[in-house]
Structure 1
Amino acid sequence: MELGERRISWAARAMPVLTAIGARFDEDKPLDGLRIAACLHVTAETAVLMGALRAGGARIALAASNPLSTQDDVAEALGAYDISVFARAGVDRGTYYRHIHEALDISPDIVLDDGCDLVNILHTERTDLLSQVSGGTEATTTGVIRLRQMTSEGALKFPVVAVNDTRTKRMFDNRYGTGQSTLDGIMRATNTMLAGKTVVVAGFGYCGRGVAERAKGLGARVVVTEIDPVKALDAALQGYAVMGMGPAAEIGDVFITVTGNRDVIRGEHLAVMKDGAILANAGHFDVEIDVRALDELGVEVHRGVRPSTDEYVLADGRRLLLLAEGRLVNLTAAEGHPAAVMDLSFSAQALAVAWLARERGTLVPGVHDVPGEIDVEVARLKLAANGMEIDTLTADQEEYLHSWRYGS
């Protein structure tokens, strides 16, 4: 437990905004008496968030959103916060879902999700609890996609705030956080040098942009694959080569999927890849790389040739390296986003939970944006914590922006 406490303390040093919010919650108790079930990555940064919510008066049950990212020492240390934790590193799929059910046994008033698995179980297997839930938050692009689909089908039974879609989250977490931590995971797992390599980035959303920028900065030749013509054009105008996965598969040295969709790298792509090609996923679920197809192509599999690295030997002798079993490489092979990044994301999440508590009973079921004032407050607090100041509008500037009477 001591190691976990040290991890949490170290993370908190780089999370001044969330720490300040936690101190405010401790005074105001905006969550007093509420039960919260969370399905998040069980890491030191998450522990700081849990501490802030607990300080606000909530009773909390936490399950892992990815068994390979769970830090067991942190899970143990969270007991000191009087938080029930249902998570262990490396558990099988059945245990993973059992842990989510155990977290839901708290009969939550509010839920926090990271990928929509908890919300999905609520709506399919634990429908008896739905009437108690007044709202929730979702922190991933993948989860928001699933929630919007549920909303379009009239299936979502309570309001969920799309924390993922705030400007601060997309800019700081998705772009800068994912960009750095993904390459960190790849380099820890393989000890490869990216300079001079051809790195194929599948998906050019905010996360994909960050990965592409960081790879380019390390000297890699970056190829982008996309299905969205506008995003593809954006990538091309930023200087990246743009092509389909078919031709990219033949020239890539490192492949990174960041799409939120399944089967982005399929059997026909694996069949033409170079000897030694590295396969990594930075999307939320382990479906972006078709691991079953890789199993079928491989005549030998060498597990753990390096940490978080499995080597698949094909019939012609070529070797393909799969990182983190196709799961999130940044959280499995590395430690995920730096704490300074999660300070913004979790601060927005904490404030969104407090807002949900205030608005209980007034919001309709569906996906809701984070109120703009929360996003602005988080950015302002972060700037202040970093000792930065910005300008404010003068009275004349305010009048000019809000009047149509001024000419050119």
Structure 2
Amino acid sequence: MESPEKARLDAFFRQITTQFPGDSRITSLIITHLLPERPAFLRAMATTTAVRAVLPKPRSIDRSTLAQVRRTFPVYDLSRELFADSTTALDFLEDTAAGKEVVLLDIGGYFAPCLETLVGKFSGRVLGVVEDTENGHQRYAAFDHLPCPVVSVARSPLKDCEDHLVGRSIVFSADALVRGRGDILTSRNACVIGFGKVGRAVAQTLRAQDLRVTVYDSDPVKGVQARAQGFRTSSSTTEALQDAELVLCATGNLALRQGDFAALRNGAYLASVTSSEDELELGSLHGLYRRTPVGDQLTRYEVTGHYFYVLADGGAVNFVHGAAVGTYIHLVQAEIVAATAALSNGQFQPGLHATPASDRQTIARIWLDHFDR
């Protein structure tokens, strides 16, 4: 990042943290993508709270950024297993923030499996969670009764700009990896599984690049929306996959299970827009399919009479190329800062919440002042 851009970004976050002041006595644990623009967000979080742990998502770590962040913040390895077991999760929280009041920043519902234990048994106090993604939102929404406030920015209007550009970056990366193998996607049949905001953007971008797009979503309302926008739709995952030469999974849940892979046509390319463990049950294929690397970020899965290609080991394909979406990412980051400040000030009761519309409007005005020039 060039110096003028860095200065503008720091000035933006200074105004955000002034508008939404936190409490430096409050501790935060932050799960995050660690990409080149992320240190400015972490510095803003350090103004809002005391950052006791940065946990980078394993498939979205820029090594030079990691080295930079390590000089300022404590960085820990992240895995689903760390927070899947309540005892391990509680031990980690006690080791990093014993006796403190804590806000947990999440991307993908990592804290969901252990949240009741953390709230009930931690020596300090969990003030709440801020969740950034749709799949994480769904994991917290599945609770009958949340034990603490969870503020989700996943469905925020401020995220729409990011989601649209994420869709474009996903198609760019999928196309680049396929071209690296000497193949092209133009005029192919494509299938998008999941027609949420990102899935919709992916489908629209594929169509704009002259692919024939079929959409499948288990929610019939989204199926109607896809059809109204001119996409072919299918009544099942199997039907959607049969003719697809490119399959992009954008459900935020488990899109393809073991039995679904057999429906992929020979030579199909398969990619995910979120973490592989959230979309693709690839682990179930080990021992059944031979796995052979055939290019950069491209793996061939083969069993007698059937083969297909998986991009980026099933991880979010756009992170292969940095997942850049420009300055729009800072709208959501600012909303996360505002949500953290609200939790630190006790503004929410236990349950699932969104940030107030007035806060989003304030963030949008500040963003326009700094970046719409």
TM-based fold match above 0.5? yes
Q: Does 1:167 align with 2:164?
A: no
Structure 1 residue runs without a partner (length 5+): 1-8, 389-408
Q: Does 1:257 align with 2:249?
A: yes
Q: By how many angstroms is 1:335 displaced?
A: 1.3
Residue 211 of structure 1: which of 202, 212, 222 is its match?
Answer: 202
Change (3 A) 1:71 1:127: farther
Q: By how many angstroms is 1:74 displaced?
A: 1.2
Match of 2:311 in 1: 323
Q: Does 1:145 align with 2:138?
A: yes
Sequence identity percentage? 22
Residue 134 of structure 1: which of 120, 127, 137 is its match?
Answer: 127
Q: By how many angstroms is 1:24 displaced?
A: 5.4
User: Which deviations, in whole Å up to 9, do the C-alpha atoms of 1:237-283 show, x marking residues without a partner?
Assistant: 11111012222222101101111222x22444422422221111113
Q: Contact 2:41 / 2:333 at 8 angstroms: preserved in 1?
A: yes
Match of 2:365 in 1: 380
**Aligned mates of 1:130, 1:285 — CA distance in 2:** 34
- SS of 2:185's equivalent in the other structure is coil
- SS of 1:251's equivalent in the other structure is coil
Q: Contact 1:11 / 1:48 at 8 angstroms: preserved in 2?
A: no
User: Which deviations, in whole Å up to 9, do the C-alpha atoms of 1:305-349 show, x marking residues without a partner?
Assistant: 222221112201x43111222222222x22124242311111111
Match of 2:332 in 1: 345
Aligned pairs, number: 363
Change (3 A) 1:363 1:12: farther
**Aligned mates of 1:336, 1:100 — CA distance in 2:** 32
Q: Contact 2:15 / 2:366 at 8 angstroms: preserved in 1?
A: no
Q: Contact 2:12 / 2:367 at 8 angstroms: preserved in 1?
A: no
Tell me the amino acid that sits aligned with residue 29 of structure 2. Answer: A
Q: By how many angstroms is 1:134 displaced?
A: 1.3
Larger Rg: 1
Tell me the amino acid that sits aligned with residue 337 of structure 2. Answer: A
Tell me the amino acid that sits aligned with residue 344 of structure 2. Answer: A
Tell me the amino acid that sits aligned with residue 211 of structure 2. Answer: A
Match of 1:202 in 2: 193
Q: Contact 2:12 / 2:370 at 8 angstroms: preserved in 1?
A: no
User: Which deviations, in whole Å up to 9, do the C-alpha atoms of 1:98-143 show, x marking residues without a partner?
Assistant: 7996466332521111112134334347853275111221001111
Of 213-222 and 120-129, deviating more is: 120-129
Q: Does 1:302 align with 2:292?
A: yes
Change (3 A) 1:17 1:261: same
Q: By how many angstroms is 1:179 displaced?
A: 0.4
**Aligned mates of 1:96, 1:330 — CA distance in 2:** 25
User: Which deviations, in whole Å up to 9, do the C-alpha atoms of 1:282-320 show, x marking residues without a partner?
Assistant: 13452422313433542x3213x222221112201x431
Q: Does 1:109 align with 2:98?
A: no
**Aligned mates of 2:46, 2:79 — CA distance in 1:** 29
**Aligned mates of 2:3, 2:287 — CA distance in 1:** 42
Of 276-285 and 140-149, deviating more is: 276-285
Q: Does 1:31 align with 2:20?
A: no
Q: By how many angstroms is 1:54 displaced?
A: 1.5
**Aligned mates of 1:130, 1:236 — CA distance in 2:** 52
Q: Does 1:273 align with 2:294?
A: no
Match of 2:41 in 1: 49
Match of 2:344 in 1: 357
Change (3 A) 1:57 1:246: closer
Q: Contact 1:15 / 1:340 at 8 angstroms: preserved in 2?
A: no
Q: By how many angstroms is 1:11 displaced?
A: 10
Change (3 A) 1:251 1:335: same
Q: Does 1:369 align with 2:361?
A: no
Structure 2 residue runs without a partner (length 5+): none
Change (3 A) 1:219 1:125: same
Q: Does 1:220 align with 2:211?
A: yes
**Aligned mates of 2:139, 2:314 — CA distance in 1:** 20
Match of 1:183 in 2: 171
Match of 2:226 in 1: 235
Q: Contact 1:36 / 1:61 at 8 angstroms: preserved in 2?
A: yes
Change (3 A) 1:126 1:33: closer
Change (3 A) 1:370 1:13: same
Q: Contact 2:22 / 2:340 at 8 angstroms: preserved in 1?
A: no
